[in-house]
């Protein structure tokens, strides 16, 4: 390894650590330097809005990898180091302390950050965003003294925060500007189900409403004012209005970006020697059908994008693939989602939403293209295999709970 220029990875989380580890497993033999601006070692992000906030998971349980991982893979982890500039021609990355690093290959795995609330009062004390461990620790501490929480944004993170705050016995209201919860991710039926589930557990849900302003007293938030004139009294506000990819390094260096750094199936950007993966990357469509690049924010996409990028780097060319999947835990409800839906797909219900156990299968030309399940893990895993195989399954069989799905023979 000595004397070789390194693979430098900017962003030490899911995509960064996976890319480093896969490169090693595939025989990459130059030094690997993993830069992370956070002071913490890489940690698991999903529990931040779930177990950590609800109090069932301690910060010490969040390490993404054990201590031995970095030594075993010969990865030099540098925490608390921020990359501030990039020169792809000179193959050099600049760091916050004024020093710079030369690289053979650079990987940008800088993830995403929270979109800010564009409303007066967004900077008041008591207003929180939730992206990293420090955010979560601050919010966790604030909830200990809070009585009323207003969550702005009825997406996955907003709803998970609402559920965790209810678990801690707080009064919770969720304000969502779209007419229904999770409107871009799930069907109207599933939106309606989740809205009912939250209401039944004591959350007040206000779809179709915008926050006009946050009001404070002595610098602390005391209320959210909505566009219909309603005023929600609260001592904590959590803003969950989406995430923006951290593309600044790439943009300054002239890389092609479009809602993320545009990459091909091997994580290659428009600049030679620069890869990208994870929440910051937008995957260009392979067939050039005119659809925009696809940016997925999920653990699966981060791992899969990183694996594909490492395979390309090591000459093994195993392109980004597999069925996209995602999960969300709210109260005792485990929501699992696989595949991607689009307008015109047929949704088939199996099971009983009233009993909090059901799946919704999405069919296109009789093939299962997506499945959204609540508390049906076995069925969901089966559906994932069908999606992967592009299997045709009869809609009537899917809906009929007397039919054992394991016994079904899908036609290819």
Ligand X SMILES: Cc1cc2nc3c(=O)[nH]c(=O)nc-3n(C[C@H](O)[C@H](O)[C@H](O)COP(=O)(O)OP(=O)(O)OC[C@H]3O[C@@H](n4cnc5c(N)ncnc54)[C@H](O)[C@@H]3O)c2cc1C
Q: Which residues bind ligand X (CB under 6 A)?
A: 10-16, 35-38, 45-46, 48-49, 82-83, 109-112, 130-131, 157, 246, 249, 278-279, 297-300, 302, 326-328
Q: Which is nearer to ligand X, 238 or 363 (CB)?
A: 238
Q: Which is nearer to ligand X, 159 or 205 (CB)?
A: 159
What is the rounded distance in angstroms from the CA atom of residue 64 to the CA atom of residue 22? 15
- Minimum distance, C-beta of residue 71 to ligand X, in the bound complex (Å): 21
Of 109, 103, 94, residue with least CA distance to 272: 103
- Minimum distance, C-beta of residue 302 to ligand X, in the bound complex (Å): 4
What is the rounded distance in angstroms from the CA atom of residue 167 to the CA atom of residue 266? 42
- Minimum distance, C-beta of residue 399 to ligand X, in the bound complex (Å): 28
Of 315, 346, 336, 321, residue with least CA distance to 382: 336
363 contacts 372 by C-beta, under 8 angstroms: no
Q: Which is nearer to ligand X, 83 or 222 (CB)?
A: 83
Cβ within 8 Å of residue 22, ≥6 positions away: 306, 307, 310, 311
- Minimum distance, C-beta of residue 40 to ligand X, in the bound complex (Å): 8
Q: Treating both helix axes as pointing N-terminal to C-terminal, what angle do 14-25 and 299-313 enclose, rounded to 10 degrees?
A: 40
Can you state the percent helix, strand and coil of the chain, rounding each to 5? 25, 30, 40
Q: Which is nearer to ligand X, 12 or 348 (CB)?
A: 12
Tokens of 337: 């989602």
Q: Which is nearer to ligand X, 14 or 65 (CB)?
A: 14
- Minimum distance, C-beta of residue 372 to ligand X, in the bound complex (Å): 14
171 contacts 198 by C-beta, under 8 angstroms: no
- Minimum distance, C-beta of residue 279 to ligand X, in the bound complex (Å): 4
What is the rounded distance in angstroms from the CA atom of residue 320 to the CA atom of residue 307? 8
Q: Is 407 exposed, middle or buried (0-12, 13-18, 19+ CB in 10 A)?
A: exposed
Q: Which is nearer to ligand X, 31 or 245 (CB)?
A: 245
Q: Which is nearer to ligand X, 273 or 410 (CB)?
A: 273
Centre a 10 Å sphere on the Cβ of residue 140 and count the other Cβ atoms it contains.
18
- Bridging pattern class, strands 100-102 and 92-95: antiparallel
- Minimum distance, C-beta of residue 77 to ligand X, in the bound complex (Å): 12
């Amino acid at each position: 390894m000595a004397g070789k220029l390194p693979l430098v990875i900017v962003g030490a989380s899911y995509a960064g650590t996976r890319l480093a580890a896969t490169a090693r497993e595939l025989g990459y033999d130059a030094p690997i330097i993993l830069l992370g601006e956070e002071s913490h070692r890489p940690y698991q992000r999903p529990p931040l809005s779930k177990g950590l906030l609800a109090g069932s998971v301690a910060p010490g349980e969040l390490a993404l990898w054990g201590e031995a991982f970095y030594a075993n893979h010969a990865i030099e982890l540098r925490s608390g180091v921020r990359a501030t500039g990039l020169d792809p021609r000179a193959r050099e990355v600049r760091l916050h302390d004024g020093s710079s690093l030369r690289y053979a290959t650079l990987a940008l795995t800088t993830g995403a950050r929270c979109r800010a609330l564009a409303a007066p009062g967004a900077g008041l004390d008591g207003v929180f965003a939730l992206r990293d461990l420090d955010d979560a620790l601050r919010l966790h501490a604030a909830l200990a003294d809070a009585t009323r929480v207003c969550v702005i944004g009825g997406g996955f993170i907003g709803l998970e925060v609402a559920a965790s705050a209810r678990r801690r016995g707080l009064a919770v209201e969720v304000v969502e500007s779209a007419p229904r919860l999770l409107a871009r991710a799930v069907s109207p039926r599933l939106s309606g189900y989740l809205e009912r589930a939250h209401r039944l557990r004591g959350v007040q849900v206000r779809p179709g409403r915008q926050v006009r302003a946050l009001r404070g007293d002595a610098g602390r938030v005391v209320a959210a004012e909505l566009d219909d004139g309603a005023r929600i009294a609260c001592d904590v506000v959590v803003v969950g209005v989406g995430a923006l990819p951290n593309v600044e390094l790439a943009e300054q260096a002239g890389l092609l970006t479009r809602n993320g750094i545009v990459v091909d199936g091997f994580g290659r950007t428009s600049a030679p020697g620069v890869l990208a993966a994870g929440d910051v990357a937008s995957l260009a469509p392979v067939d050039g059908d005119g659809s925009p690049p696809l940016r997925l924010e999920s653990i699966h996409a981060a791992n899969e994008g990183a694996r594909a990028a490492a395979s390309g780097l090591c000459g093994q060319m195993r392109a980004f693939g597999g069925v996209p999947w995602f999960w969300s835990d709210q109260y005792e409800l485990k929501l699992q989602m696989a595949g991607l839906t689009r307008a015109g797909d047929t949704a088939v219900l199996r099971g009983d939403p009233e009993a909090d156990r059901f799946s919704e299968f999405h069919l296109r030309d009789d093939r299962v293209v997506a499945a959204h399940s609540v508390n049906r893990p076995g069925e969901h895993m089966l559906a994932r295999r069908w999606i992967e195989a592009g299997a045709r399954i009869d809609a009537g069989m899917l809906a009929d709970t007397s039919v054992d799905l394991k016994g079904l023979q899908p036609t290819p």
